[in-house]
Structure 1
Amino acid sequence: MHRRVLTPLVATVTAVGLAMTVGACSAPDDSAASSSSVAAEPSALPVTIDHRYGTTTIDATAARIATLGPGDGDTLLALGITPTTMVPFSDPTEKTVIAPWNEKALEGKEPVVLGQGSQDLSSVIPKALATNPDLILAVNNAVTRSQYDNLAKVAPTVVRPEQYQDWTVPWTASTTEIGRAVGKPAETAKLISATEKEFTDAKAANPQLVGRTGAVVIGSAGGGLSIYSPGDGRGQMLTNLGLEFPASLQPSITNGFYGSISDENLGLLGGLDKLVVVDWQGSTDALRANPAFMNLDVVKRGDVVFLDQVTGSAMSVPTVLTIPWVLQKLVPQLAS
């Protein structure tokens, strides 16, 4: 299953050849692809960023920044920078990237929407390059070597840190990397500290959650469900609240950041202290109608949190904008 599109029908990220010719990009539509930049902090630039494919040196403040990963744009918005492009968090057919957590930060501006960006990156690269970026950020995406090489020919390009797998970069690491790339490390550190305080305050107010076991799942169309690893964005939300992913479920994680559990094996979830179910196009209704799921101890105790599709999408990509918004909805239900 692909990370940002929450449907459990897609099991892998397809590496598609880059169908574009460098230098053949059309001029940007300034009405849709406008970008804003903010002056870098003193001595913050030039900076060299280490990442999966080597290093990228950024010499000066970028005026037009294209973001190619879900959540990458949120970090820029929090820093007062509007990117030329953004990838929506969930539905690839979305025509907007405006969401409840970033609406104020966008202030009526809307970057070019890269609807298929998390599902088929190659297909949206020409659209991103048409905005004439002078910096490309693709930290929260699965970027192939050939895609990176072609992007780097156009503008300095930053991808995920080497030490993390695709789709499992901790939100603190991705935020730090993006903040350094735009020359605002000190302001970014303050944003991270303020966001970490949201988790600290939530744990202090609900100590009964700390050390308990928990997991995040979504119903599958063919029965059973998908379960997310603690490294996935959804899993990160729980571990940052002090919950622990049990070792007994680790073998279920077979695809990097998620795995599948059939109806016959749903009993594996019965011993959880807390279970979070995120919806995708009615998948939760199917789970509620599944006797094997409804008979789990954790369900019968009422220790299940059901989240709607929008909240689940926000939870899938923890950012300094989504985290406070999600916690307001998630924590009261977990605590009860």
Structure 2
Amino acid sequence: MRLHTHRLSGLLLALVATALMVTSCSAPDEGVADDSARVPAPEAGAIPVTLQQVYAPAVVEKAPQRIAALGVGDADTLLALGVMPTTIAPFADPDQSKAPWNAELIGDSQPVVLSNTSAALGNEIPKALATSPDLITAVGADPTRDQFDLLSKTAPTILRPAQYKPWQVPWTAQTIQIGTAIGQPDLARRKVGETESFLAGIRAKNPQFAGKTAVVVTASPTGGVSVYGPEDGRAQTVAGYGLTFPTALRDAITSGFYGELPAESLDRLDAADVVVAVDWEGSNDKLRSNPAFTRLEVARSGRVAYLSQEVGSAMSVPTLLTIPWVAGEAVGPLAEAAGSR
């Protein structure tokens, strides 16, 4: 999955402003979240709190009762911290509120699905505001300043810390930012520590990862591959297992967090100890049948781990929930590939 930003046109901004005014008296056709939205009581002394972030600080003056997750992956973090958000921005299947890693926590609740916050955030804002949130999280999104100002008129809006670029916030920082905003900073830090210990356990059980490099790719229709850079969630995921991004491929990352290798440059993938191929609409089958790829040393020696589209999508947004689920699906194939070196 590739995440792209979208800027509101003047017309759309006007429409959203209108939605703000009518939210209190009517609901849009999409419906609103049910009454199962919940937020645990804040930790002692955790609220009020001021969060530093892009654009302007967010001040949370009172404990929130209804939280809208506008950012991709934000709902996972909220769920892991005991919150049932009013909205969810899915990233595996844009039309589903549940995925294998969060279905149990969502249960019978029905948060409003914001299906396209990564590419058309402005279209999803009225749906989120219609759920009457008193706190909005957009850490896993890239709102414009105008969008942020608009959202902030309704409720404190939590964005990414200023030192991180859009779509490149480490899961640890995302968890702490959201946990602090909802009044659960200690719980958030504890969850981060538990997840880091889980990853340390994977590294300890798989010594073949130590000192090895890995690159995550998706085959492109032109016969080349998209390469995901070290700041991308997919690369962050394998880095958690102890595999590092190949230095020789850093210049291939030309578009923020990814780049392209054309068919004639596929031999550059031999610089990696392991190639992780994540599927996208049958791309792995095309890669397996691509002679330019199959004759590479990395392919001939069995050092390619092929992962499903669902796993690849979950890897793209590491969270407290996706990290353990992905590990159950991906560590085995990666360990086999790394052991072939």
Q: Establish whether TM, by shorter chain, passes 0.5.
A: yes
Compare 171-180 and 274-283 and name the one that shifted more.
Answer: 274-283
Is the Cα contact below 8 Å between 2:92 and 2:99 reproduced in 1? Answer: no
What is the match of residue 20 of structure 1?
Answer: 16
Listed as ranges, the matches of 1:48-63 within 5 Å are 48-63=50-65
Q: How many Å separate the matches in 2 of 1:198 and 1:323?
A: 9
CA contact (8 A) 1:33 1:131 kept: no
Question: Would you say 1:245 and 2:241 are equivalent positions?
Answer: no
- How far the C-alpha of 1:149 sits from its partner, in A, is 1.1
TM-score computed with the length of structure 2 as normaliser: 0.92
2:310 maps to: 310
Following TM superposition, by how much is the alpha carbon of 1:76 offset from its aligned partner in structure 2, in angstroms? 0.7
Contact 1:271-1:297 within 8 A present in 2 as well: no
Q: Closer, same or farther in 2 for the Cα pair 1:131/1:33, shift >3 Å? A: farther
The residue number in structure 2 matching 1:123 is 123
Match of 2:159 in 1: 159
| SS of residue paired to 2:217 | strand
- CA positional deviation for 1:141: 1.2
Code of the residue aligned with 2:16 in structure 1: it is M
C-alpha contact (below 8 Å) 2:248/2:271 kept by paired residues: no
SS of corresponding position for 2:57: strand
Tell me the matched-pair count.
326
Tell me whether 13-22 or 48-57 shows the greater mean CA deviation: 13-22
Q: By how many angstroms is 1:107 displaced?
A: 1.8
User: What SS does the corresponding residue of 1:23 show, helix, strand or coil?
Assistant: helix
TM-score, length basis structure 1: 0.93
SS of 1:270's equivalent in the other structure is helix
Amino acid aligned to 2:77: T
Q: Secondary structure at the match of 2:328?
A: helix
Match of 1:7? none
Q: 2:72 — aligned with what?
A: 70
Relative to structure 1, the CA distance from residue 143 to residue 33 in structure 2 (aligned partners, 3 Å threshold; closer, same or farther) is farther
Q: Secondary structure at the match of 2:51?
A: strand
Match of 1:99 in 2: 99
Give the Cα–Cα distance (whole angstroms) in 2 for the partners of residues 266 and 159 of structure 1.
38
The one-letter amino acid of 2:234's match is R
Alpha-carbon offset, residue 70 of structure 1: 1.3
| Paired residue secondary structure (2:292) | helix
Q: How far has the Cα of 1:16 moved from its partner?
A: 2.9
Q: Contact conserved, 2:278 with 2:312, CA < 8 A, in 1? A: yes
Any residues of structure 2 matched to 1:65-214 within 5 Å, and which?
A: 65-92=67-94, 94=95, 96-214=96-214
The 5 Å alignment of 1:260-299 reads 260-299=260-299
Identity percentage of aligned residues? 46
Q: Deviations over 1:132-177 (max 9, x none)?
A: 1110000011221111111111110011111011111000000000
Counterpart among 40, 43, 56 of residue 41 in structure 1: 43
Moved over 6 A (4+): none
Q: Distance in 2 between matches of 1:271 and 1:261?
A: 13
Q: For 1:169 and 1:304, how far apart are their aligned partners in 2?
A: 27
